[in-house]
Amino acid sequence: MNPIKETPRTAHVRPVSGRVTGAGGTAAAPATRTEAEPLPEDHTQAILQATKEVAALLKASGYPFALVGSVAVYAYGVPLRLQHDSDFCLRRKDAEGVVRALTQGGVEVVSPPEDWLMKARAGGEEIDLIFELAHRPVTKEMLDRAEILSVDSVHMPVLAPTDLMSSRLAALSEHHCDFGRLLPVARALRERVDWNALRREHTASPMPDAFLYLLERLDVISPRTGGPGGVP
């Protein structure tokens, strides 16, 4: 396996606008502060271009994979302004071959502290290569269920809607519970998701179960019937 390079994390230093006046009204040197550079308002096209580049290399490698995350939601027709990165899920056992294929294709791969993903960089954009979705391993069965969609004119496997929604529900917790961002995704995918399967899977988890109940109250999905999980 090609060595995975560690990249240092550096902060951007930007001068504060304007001049600082010292004692006696003399002009002092401009002050500086350390802060993260703001993201552009809309990074959609740059992220899509990086997604297509990496997907082409992954398809040529022969290893199974699927697009996931916000770009996958975008691929299903949900209008989003992409700002962060592109996510692909793959099996952990395929990591060595995937790294080799990407590095040979000119994509830089780095090793983050987390052990459930690798990070790559293509065309200046960040790419996450994920082995686990909400602490659950990516499996062959999950990848087999992926749908082939056109992503900005390039066809690639995209995680199935039920699996995509399940991974997002599983990520909800007391510390990460933004129903507002998840609601438009649920509305857009509601006809393509097996909601009863999600009820069975997440009925014991308070936050996902609360979100599913919210969808019922908003008439996004049909009310559950019968026993636990809405199974008649």
Structure tokens at 200: 């069975």
Predicted pLDDT at 4: 45
Q: Strand, coil or helix: what is 87?
A: strand
pTM: 0.76
- For residues 93 and 96, give the distance between their C-alpha atoms in angstroms, rounded to a whole number: 7
How far, CA to CA in Å, does 63 sit from each of 22, 44, 70, 138? Answer: 62, 26, 22, 13
- For residues 2 and 129, give the distance between their C-alpha atoms in angstroms, rounded to a whole number: 16
Predicted pLDDT at 26: 43
Predicted pLDDT at 180: 87
- Please report, in tens digits, the pLDDT of each residue of the chain (232 residues total): 444 444 443 333 333 334 434 444 444 444 444 455 554 456 788 888 899 999 999 999 999 999 998 899 989 988 777 767 799 999 999 999 999 999 999 999 988 888 888 999 988 889 999 999 988 899 999 999 999 999 988 999 999 999 999 999 999 988 888 898 899 999 999 999 999 999 999 999 999 999 999 999 999 999 987 555 444 4
* 198: DSSP letter: H
- For residues 97 and 57, give the distance between their C-alpha atoms in angstroms, rounded to a whole number: 11
Neighbour order of strands in the sheet with 154-158:
108-110, 117-122, 125-130, 86-89, 66-68, 154-158, 147-151
Alpha carbons within 13 angstroms on the beta-carbon side of residue 21 total: 2
